[in-house]
Amino acid sequence: MKPVFVLLVSTAWTFTGAQYYYQGLMDYLENRLLAIEDRMLLWHDQSHRYHTELLDFKKLTAEAVDGLKNQHSVMFKDLEGAAVRADRVEREMDSVEAQTSPRACAGMADKVVEQGAWRLKESRGEDESEEEEGDDWEELHSRVSDCVEIISGIRSVKILKRVGAPKGMWTRDPRSSEVYIFNGTSGDDLHQFNSVRDFSRSPGVTGSRLIRLPSDWRGPGGAVYDGYLYYIQRGEADADVQVVKYDLLTGSVAEVAMIPVESRAAVYDLNPETVADLAADDEGLWLLYAPADGEPNIHLAKMDRASLDIEQIWDTRCPREKAEAAFVVCGTVYVVYNTRLASRSRIQCLFDVNDAVVSEEAPLIYFPRRYGAHASLKYNPEEKQLYAWDDGYQIIYRLTMKTKLLV
């Protein structure tokens, strides 16, 4: 009987302990579930608040974007109106420049007017000193240049096509109809077309005659005259600059001459690829260059077309800074200037080897605004027009000319 009683008491204690254990476990689990529910409620409240804030932010962003779109539309319309007004002003300026002739008057012996010829005898006064001054002028003129034409304006513009690199050169031989293309700023190839019409009709330069030169040309500063190509090359030391005369008919080098350049100075500040610039016309072969890096002005040299000997050198007093190109007409250098961010090109400095045109008193001549900036400008004396390379576009500027008169 006693063992049975002990067993019952033991079983009762065990059952009571298990009941307390399971009750504690259930209380713990219930507390954890309540904590999780509280956190879920907190997360729900936070997500609801974030969602509300996100909707408010989205609404504000949409309103700001709509406002920016409206402002952009207004600004775009204002810019369009400004562009229209700028184009109108440019057309009016071009019209005024075409109707207004430049006057460059520095004194009795330097005046330039629109008449037909030099009248030295009629311009001389009764005073003996004036007569002697006229004789000196006549001697200088006959010694350097016999041409009497200067530019009075730009008559018209013809955009022929767009071929090749942003920088390059194209020109026509004044003594024939052939057109020559220098594509880029260096290389050993030259493209030849029979005429400007053939070039305009060709798909790029594929229809051209490709000429391989015996050496690389450097910069778009070449010239073509009477079947000869004149181009700039660097020597093996990369410091020597040479002018090469190449016979286009026989395909051989006729002459090579050194240029008086002491360093790698470029002749134009805005086109550093142009080491030197050549211009050939009826007066001879002209070379535009900078003798040293520290030289601020562009120098001019007259070369013999046959031997490439330098006959005379001038300091044009035209600064290299902000210069983009230049060309020579009848012994007068016209330097074209621009800005770093390409704007309207303008002839801002003149230099005449006969001292007949004074740069300071000559008015500006503006080129019509086109694309970028001129990489090269080549004058053709037979056609009285410029062959220009502007941001890959080949452009022809037809010029109006007038004759010099000493009064």
Concatenated DSSP letters of 303-339: E-TTT--EEEEEEEEEESTTEEEEEEETTEEEEEE--
Q: Rounded mean pLDDT of the chain?
A: 80
Taking residues 149-155, report their average pLDDT: 86
Distance CA 132, CA 57 (A): 89
| 81 CB neighbour count, 10 Å cutoff | 10
Taking residues 283-295, report their average pLDDT: 90
Backbone phi, psi, residue 286, to 5°: -115, 145
pLDDT at residue 105 tops 50: no
Distance CA 287, CA 350 (A): 15
First to last CA, the chain: 160
Distances in whole angstroms, Cα of residue 84 to Cα of each of 71, 79, 137, 346, 370: 20, 8, 49, 22, 15
pLDDT grade for 128, boundaries at 50, 70 and 90? very low
pLDDT at residue 398 tops 80: yes
345 closest CA partner among 284, 270, 294: 270
Torsion (CA) 155, 160, 162, 165 in degrees, nearest 10 = -60
Distance CA 243, CA 288 (A): 12
- The contacts of residue 261 (CB under 8 Å, 6+ apart) are 241, 275, 276, 289, 290, 291, 292
Query: According to the model, what pLDDT value does residue 138 have?
Result: 38
CB 397 within 8 A of CB 170: no
Distance CA 364, CA 336 (A): 10
Distance CA 186, CA 125 (A): 55
3-state secondary structure of 191: strand
Question: At CA 113, angle to CA 111 and CA 114, rounded to 5?
Answer: 165
Distance CA 238, CA 297 (A): 23
pLDDT tens digit sequence for 65-75: 988 888 888 88
pLDDT tens digit sequence for 54-63: 988 988 889 8
Distance CA 282, CA 154 (A): 21
3-state secondary structure of 183: strand
pLDDT at residue 299 tops 90: yes
CB 231 within 8 A of CB 222: yes
pLDDT tens digit sequence for 355-385: 877 655 566 788 887 778 899 999 999 999 9
Instruction: Classify burial at 266, counting beta carbons within 10 Å of its beta carbon; exposed 0-12, middle 13-18, buried 19 or more.
Output: buried
pLDDT at residue 135 tops 90: no
CB 391 within 8 A of CB 345: no
pLDDT grade for 404, boundaries at 50, 70 and 90? low
3-state secondary structure of 91: helix
Taking residues 203-232, report their average pLDDT: 90
Distances in whole angstroms, Cα of residue 123 to Cα of each of 17, 129, 147, 296: 140, 13, 19, 37
Query: According to the model, what pLDDT value does residue 214 have?
Result: 93
Query: According to the model, what pLDDT value does residue 80 have?
Result: 80
Q: Which residues pair with 385 in a beta bridge?
A: 380, 398
